Structure 1
Amino acid sequence: MAEVVLQDISKAYGTTRANDHVTMTVPDGAFVVLLGPTGAGKTTCLRMIAGLEQPDSGDIRINGRTVTNDTPAQRNVAMVFQQYSLYPHMTVRENLAFPLRSPILRTPEEQIKRKIGEVAEVLRISHKLDNKATQLSGGEMQRVSIGRALVRDPNIYLMDEPLSSLDAKLRADLRVELKRVQEKLGATLLYVTHDQIEAMTMATHVGVLDHGRLVQFGSPREIYERPVSLYVASRLGLPRINMLPADIFAGAPSRARTIGLRPEHIAQGSGKESKVVRVEHLGDQTRLHLDLEGHDIVTLTDVHTGLRPGDTVAVEPRAPLYFDGDGARIA
């Protein structure tokens, strides 16, 4: 594995700036997630590291060596795409062996057999090795797709929304699997997603992209608790952060225009009165949808609450986040 450094990377397609002076370090052995909505520049960033796109300016270093002008093969990276990209006429074993038999790697057959066995065991697909790719479920196909990367010993694994086409249960299962595999291998992994749950549960570091700019980079907890802007605050957290006029509660800084309240940071029992609009019982938690002076807010309450629509609840902020007129957080 290796450290990967992006230094002032920019890439434009016509008048559209896909990446705008991005500087970021992916530490050796880290699980880094690039987070942002569609069009934020996540995939372009990944493709430039892989060598599939050439940056207009800036430098890319892998393990201390500049690779900006290297071919994808020379960079020794492994990439997993959103679609499975398997050879349907081949068995799982043949799909896993395919990258190892490339003219560049020329891996001995004995070593190929060993690597396939190890990866199949890690991904729990040993019993499927002799099945054709077309005989697999969606989750199994994505495991094989990930396995085709894992059989390699690359400098970094690059993954472009590999779980987005799976159903909710499979996504949850494979999130756990992928994190387990990454920790077991000590792999350096850069993962692209727009799914905040994937970022919060898997990442050691999160980079938040906004229209091609890297606006914050840090641990998931740091970005959740200390976002630099309204935009970043809205990227993590489910339910989403509540955004209200700063003067709706007393005590806001003079420059504050917006107060941000995480659902768990709204205390009940005292403060301003709000009206219960809806109660969502989700098993492990209950969400209250409230109307506070014409503003919709969501908070959490006791799982066995007896509150009903139309009831009145007094609320007040706890650990609020304040933002100025430009959306920047006021520390």
Structure 2
Amino acid sequence: MAEVILTDVSKSFAADVALENVSMTVPNGSFVVLLGPTGAGKTTILRMVSGLDQPDQGAISIGGRDTAGLTPAQRDVAMVFQQYSLYPHLTVRQNLEFPLKSPILRTPQAEIDRKVGEVAEILQISHKLGNKATALSGGEMQRVSIGRALVRNPAVYLMDEPLSSLDAKLRSDLRIEIKSIQADSGATLLYVTHDQIEAMTMATHVGVLDNGKLVQFGSPREIYENPVSMYAASRLGQPRINLLPADVFAGAPHSATHIGLRPEQIVQGEGEESLVQRVEHLGDQTRLHLMFRSHNLITVTNSHTTLKRGDVVKIRPDKPFYFDANGARLA
């Protein structure tokens, strides 16, 4: 497995800037999630690491080796695309076997059978091994696509929103399995998503991207608890962070324009009155939708709360985040 280093990487497509001076180190054996909305530059990074695209400037190295001029095969990476890419005339088993039968790997048949069996069981497609790829559902096709990467032992795994086409139950199951596989194998994995739950539950490191710029890189907990900007703070956390005018509560720094309050930064039972607009019972927790001085707030409370719509609850901020007019975090 290998460390991946991007140094001042930039990429444009005609007049559109996809990446601008991105520098980032993906540590050996880490699970790095690139997080951001559509157009942030996440997939562009994957394509350049894989060799499908080349940077306009900057350098990319894998395992200490400069990738300039190397083909995707020479880089020893395995990529899972957002849209499944299978050989339609082959069975599921043959699709999974295909990477292992390349002249480069020369994998013995017994080892192929073992790896295919293990991966098929993990992905819950053992009963589909004899089916043609065209006989599968979209979710099953994506699982086979993931499996074709997992059967290999590359320097780096690259995954571009691989779970987006799956149902919620399977997506939750495979989050656990992919993370377990990565942790057990010590694989280096670079994973693209816009799903903050995937980022929080799977990643050892998160890279937050905005319009082609890397705005923060660190552990999920670090970014959640110590965001550098209003944008970074809004990318992680469920429910999303509450962003309000800074003067809605007393005590804001002079240069602050916004206050950021995560659910646990809102103390209930003391402070100023707010109106309960909606109560969502989610089993292990209850979300309160509040109206405070004409601003909407979401916080969480005890799962056995008796609060209901129309009740009044007192609230106050506890160690909130403050941001300036440019969205930068204030100390």
Name the TM-score class by shorter chain: over 0.9
Greater Cα offset, 120-129 or 17-26: 120-129
User: 1:138: Cα distance to partner?
Assistant: 4.4
User: 1:124: Cα distance to partner?
Assistant: 4.8
Distance 1:297 1:127 in 2: 48
| Structure-1 residue corresponding to 2:21 | 21
- SS of the residue corresponding to residue 44 of structure 2 reads helix
CA spacing shift, 1:309–1:119, aligned 2, 3 Å: closer
- SS of the residue corresponding to residue 253 of structure 2 reads coil
In the alignment, is the contact (CA less than 8 A) between 1:32 and 1:203 conserved in 2? yes
User: 1:140: Cα distance to partner?
Assistant: 3.7
In the alignment, is the contact (CA less than 8 A) between 1:88 and 1:134 conserved in 2? yes
Deviations 1:23-61 (A, max 9, x none): 001111100000000000000010000000010000000
User: 1:121: Cα distance to partner?
Assistant: 4.5
User: 1:122: Cα distance to partner?
Assistant: 4.5
| Structure-2 residue corresponding to 1:313 | 313
Distance 1:294 1:177 in 2: 44
Deviations 1:228-279 (A, max 9, x none): 0000001011111001111222222222111100012211111111111111
Name the amino acid aligned to 2:269.
Answer: G
In the alignment, is the contact (CA less than 8 A) between 1:100 and 1:106 conserved in 2? yes
| Structure-1 residue corresponding to 2:230 | 230
Name the amino acid aligned to 1:317.
Answer: P
| Structure-1 residue corresponding to 2:294 | 294
| Structure-1 residue corresponding to 2:66 | 66
Does 1:261 pair with 2:261? yes
Unaligned runs of 5+ in 2: none
What are the residue-to-residue correspondences of 1:99-114 with 2, within 5 Å? Answer: 99-114=99-114
In the alignment, is the contact (CA less than 8 A) between 1:139 and 1:170 conserved in 2? no
- SS of the residue corresponding to residue 147 of structure 1 reads helix
In the alignment, is the contact (CA less than 8 A) between 1:122 and 1:181 conserved in 2? no
Distance 2:14 2:272 in 1: 51
| Structure-2 residue corresponding to 1:46 | 46
Distance 1:308 1:149 in 2: 49
Does 1:34 pair with 2:54? no
Distance 1:137 1:283 in 2: 32
Distance 2:290 2:117 in 1: 54
What are the residue-to-residue correspondences of 1:125-274 with 2, within 5 Å? Answer: 125-274=125-274
Name the amino acid aligned to 1:173.
Answer: D
Distance 1:121 1:304 in 2: 39
In the alignment, is the contact (CA less than 8 A) between 1:133 and 1:141 conserved in 2? yes
In the alignment, is the contact (CA less than 8 A) between 2:84 and 2:142 conserved in 1? yes
User: 1:16: Cα distance to partner?
Assistant: 1.1
- SS of the residue corresponding to residue 179 of structure 1 reads helix
Distance 1:94 1:37 in 2: 35
In the alignment, is the contact (CA less than 8 A) between 2:243 and 2:260 conserved in 1? yes
Unaligned runs of 5+ in 1: none
Name the amino acid aligned to 1:307.
Answer: L
CA spacing shift, 1:196–1:49, aligned 2, 3 Å: same
- SS of the residue corresponding to residue 173 of structure 1 reads helix
Greater Cα offset, 185-194 or 247-256: 247-256
- SS of the residue corresponding to residue 17 of structure 1 reads strand
Distance 1:298 1:118 in 2: 43
Distance 2:155 2:90 in 1: 27
CA spacing shift, 1:165–1:123, aligned 2, 3 Å: closer
CA spacing shift, 1:90–1:320, aligned 2, 3 Å: same
User: 1:135: Cα distance to partner?
Assistant: 4.3
Distance 1:192 1:127 in 2: 29
Distance 1:222 1:239 in 2: 17
> Aligned residues: percent identity?
72
Q: What is the TM-score with the length of structure 2 in the denominator?
A: 0.95
Deviations 1:142-181 (A, max 9, x none): 3321121122221100000001111222211111111111
Greater Cα offset, 101-110 or 213-222: 101-110
Name the amino acid aligned to 1:57.
Answer: Q
Greater Cα offset, 94-103 or 116-125: 116-125
CA RMSD in angstroms comes to: 1.6
In the alignment, is the contact (CA less than 8 A) between 1:80 and 1:146 conserved in 2? yes
Distance 2:115 2:287 in 1: 47
